[in-house]
Amino acid sequence: MVPQEHYLVLSAILFAIGAIGVLVRRNAIVIFMCIELMLNAVNVSLVAFSKQMNSMDGQVFVFFIMTVAAAEAAIGLAIMVSLFRNKETLNVDEINLMKW
Amino acid sequence: MTPIHIAYPNIFVILPELILMCWVFFMMMADLFISKEKKEVNALLAIIGILLSAAAVFVVMPSGHITSFNDSMVSDSFALFFKLLFCIAAVLTILISRKYIAIEGMNWGEYYTLLLFAVSGMMVLVSATDLVTIYLGMEFMALTVYVLTGYLRHDTRSNEAALKYFLLGAFSSAIILYGMVLLYGVTGSTNIYKVASFLAANDNFSNPVMIASVILLVAGFAFKVAAVPFHMWAPDAYEGAPTSITAFMAVGPKAASFAVILRIFLVALPAMKSHWVPIFWGISAISMLLGNIVAVAQTNIKRMLAYSSIGHAGFIFMGVISGTKIGIASVMLYMLAYLFMSIGAFAVIILLRKTGVRGDEIKDFSGFARKHPSLGLCMLIFLVSLIGLPPTAGFIGKMYLLAAAVEAEYYYLAAIGVLMSVVSLFYYMQVAKTMYIDEEIPGQQLVSSNALTLVVYFCAAATLLIGMFPNRFITSALASVLTM
Amino acid sequence: MELILFYIFGGIAIIASLGLVTGKNPVHSALFMVVVFFVVAALFVLLGAEFLAAAQILVYAGAIMVLFLFVIMLLRLQKEELRNTSRHAFQKFFGIVLSLVFAFQVIMIFRGGFFKGAKGNFPPDAVKGFGGNTEAVAAVLFTDYLFPFELTSAILLMAMVGAVVLTKKELK
């Protein structure tokens, strides 16, 4: 039996790693992957809470987060493809037609 | 195995958004049968759909406060007020878009489809009373607006704006989500009424998890309404997006986000009030300061309006912080006033957009009012209203927000608000000066679109009407404040 | 036994996510991401959420990551240099410090056990009564969360329309 706190700590660590990634990386696709990592960290917390409280709400919430993540991936990558067609880069430091 | 019983839900609660979504499906089908030359029909169809949805709002209105879907959706006068506001914003946006997207060469039916999707997402968001529906409504709205921001896919500025908006928006969604999850972890429920009753019954005031949750929620929602220090996406997104979408973004998603902020913080988290009020106080103060001061230095009018909208967001937070009945009513009133003055101002900017001329620099307005006196006067009305001077809607809105802040004894905040309104006088009046005093640009022609000029006159009239006869609007806003 | 498995999976998750954040080549990052997704699926199994574990692999590792890799290959992305000398150095430093402080705080918090929320209706026995985790999820999904479930269909449709609008080549 794993104490619930273990899962929460793991989730917090993953969330923080993802957040750091968003802040330090300069490649839009990698930044987006870090955001997906943050969502996964959230999912781990949710399922852990769901188990501890004997409720299914948390698991259903995870299901919805996954669906939205899929929609988000489709749109985010479409935006990146359309930018790349015009600009040939996905480095957010070079994307500075307007000030970042 | 236990059989599942599905109770028949009361779909009356979601009637406006349901009608709108069904209409969108119909429009997508209909678009296939509309020839390339007649794509304007889509605009007409979209307006019909929104009018149907607005009619549904009036049908639902007499029922009062009803909930459905296991209390995850509510239809109360607060939600209905915002739904009507979105309907008005959407109709005005469609009217100003038609010519604009034709000039940009992007006159497809999908534009209207996406716009209607965004409106239905915002409607879900203002009705949502469960963390799950709030999250889904928020993402529905946000994802659609990302696409619309990048709609001009040949324009690098539009692509970049979409990318920045998307990355920061997705990041802020993840932050909000973590806050929601901690809230669920502490209270054991995703329903905001249950969250509220749990927090009222159990002392969680100094529970560090709750504090972390509140901080994450505040930060995430501050992102969504572009308040300092989470505002960096707004100027770029506003400048790069198609102007018609900028007009919509400045009004629709912002109003929806404020509605959900009011719902979460005043309905679910009143027990934590003394934690979130100081954070919002700081955000409000620096948004007003930074937004208005940086706006002075802008040369692009869309960018200037973006910074000024950051300042306006700071102003609106005053109503949230006060948390009183009059505070909520003043937020609603201000959003209504902001709708007309903001869309009106953007409609005037679109008038200057011609093939080959972008027309969104302040210097493009040189001599505008002398050449087109009536349109110039309308723009002047919008500018005066954005500053917050009588006799316009902006004055009434700001006055009530200040009154709410003073009533709740936030004197310093109110003082900053007044001071920054004076600062805003500089940059708004600079546009007026360019319009009236500077030399005309030779050969400047306006876009000839009856719909567009109609919107400008209508918005100017509405701005003046709310400013001069505010009683009716104030009573209706007070009558439909959030019931807690 | 469960604890050991947790530490193994948790360790892999942290190492892989560090690899994701520090990897210079986007393809490597994507592959680390796949590892994280699989490990998270394993954690879901440990937590008794079998349905989500399957969905995690199908949706995340299957659909989303393939999309990512496809786009990375399509765009022929160059190796990125982690530039620490740029004007963002301060911002980065600030961000890292803030995140570390945040993680530390959250970890401290979770040691205390502040979660005394109301218990739900699905203790392990009740879940067995439904016939398993998947049935129990379905029982909640199609009753209490019927509207959000229908709403996701609209979101997915919108995402499809949006992606087509943004990337379709001109039809003239």
CA distances from B307 to B59, B155, B188, B231, B310 (A): 39, 22, 40, 9, 5
pLDDT band for position C110 (50/70/90)?
low
CB within 8 Å: C14 and A17: yes
User: In the structure, what pLDDT confidence band is assigned to residue A93 with cuts at 50, 70 and 90?
Assistant: low
The tens digit of pLDDT for each residue in B244-269 reads: 999 999 999 999 999 999 999 999 89
Q: Which one of B157, B177, B238 would you mutate to disrupt binding with A, by most A Cβ within 10 Å of its Cβ?
A: B177
Return the DSSP state at A92.
T
Q: Is A82's CB within 8 Å of B150's CB?
A: yes
Residues 440-469 of B with CB under 8 A from C: none
B354 beta partners:
B357
> Is residue B301 a part of any domain in this protein?
yes
Helix (H, G, I), strand (E, B) or coil at A27: strand
- Chain B interface test: which of C109, C127, C147 (most B C-beta within 10 Å): C147
Q: Give me the CATH number covering residue A13.
A: 1.10.287.3510
Q: How confident is the model at residue B483 (pLDDT cuts 50, 70, 90)?
A: low
Q: Is B355 exposed, middle or buried (0-12, 13-18, 19+ CB in 10 A)?
A: exposed
Q: Tell whether A79 lies on the interface with B, counting CB pairs under 8 A.
A: yes
**A55 located within any domain:** yes
Q: What is the per-residue pLDDT for A98?
A: 47
Closest residue by Cα to residue C117 from A36, B213, B321, A34: B213
- 8 A C-beta contact, residue A98 and residue B161: yes
How far is the C-alpha of B368 from the C-alpha of B19, rounded, in Å? Answer: 42
ipTM: 0.94
DSSP-based three-state secondary structure for C12? helix
Of A8, A42, A55, the CB nearest to B177: A42
Give the C-alpha distances (Å, rounded to integers) separating B224 from A58, B50, B174, B231, C84. Answer: 24, 25, 12, 9, 29
> Chain A contacts of C2, Cβ < 8 Å?
1-2
- What is the arithmetic mean of pLDDT over C101-128? 70
Q: What is the rounded average pLDDT for all residues in chain B? A: 89
- Among chain C residues, the shortest Cα distance to B4 is held by C139
Q: Per the CB < 8 Å rule, is C21 touching A69? A: no
CB proximity C161 to A under 8 Å: no
- B264-287 pLDDT per residue, tens: 999 989 888 888 999 999 999 999
Residue A60: predicted pLDDT: 93
C-alpha span between B80 and C128 (Å, rounded): 43
Residue B282: per-residue pLDDT: 92
The CATH fold of domain C2-79+123-167? Four Helix Bundle (Hemerythrin (Met), subunit A) (1.20.120)
**Which has more confidence, B433 or B1?**
B433
Whether B2 maps to a domain, the answer reads no
Residue B210 confidence (pLDDT)? 85
Residues of A in contact with B121 (CB under 8 A): none
> What is the domain range of residue B433?
11-479
Which range among B230-244, B410-424, C125-139 shows the weakest confidence by mean pLDDT? C125-139
Domain total for chain A?
1
Residue B323 lies inside a defined structural domain of this protein: yes
A44 touching C (Cβ < 8 Å): yes
pLDDT at res. A99 = 45
> Chain B closest CA to A28's CA: distance in Å?
8
**Per-residue pLDDT, C172:** 44
Average pLDDT, integer, range C120-133 = 76
pLDDT value of residue B355 = 65
What pLDDT score does A41 carry?
Answer: 94
Q: What is the pLDDT of residues B75-97, one digit of tens each?
A: 988 999 999 999 999 999 999 98
Q: Give chain B's domain count.
A: 1
User: Which tens digits make up the pLDDT trace of A23-75?
Assistant: 888 788 889 999 999 999 999 999 998 888 888 889 999 999 999 999 999 99
Domain parsing of chain C, residue ranges: 2-79+123-167
Residue-wise pLDDT for C45-73, tens only, equals: 999 899 999 999 999 888 898 899 888 88
Q: Report if residue A99 sits inside a domain.
A: no
State the pLDDT confidence band at C2, using cuts at 50, 70 and 90: confident
Interface of C with B (CB under 8 A): 105-106, 108-110, 112, 114-120, 129-131, 135, 138-139, 142-148, 151-152, 154-155, 158-159, 161-162, 164-167
Residue B135 to chain A, least CA–CA distance (Å): 9
pTM of the model: 0.93
Of A28, A64, A99, the CB nearest to B132: A64
Find the closest chain A residue to C107 by CA distance.
Answer: A9
Residue B372 lies in a domain: yes
Residue A26 structural domain: 4-87
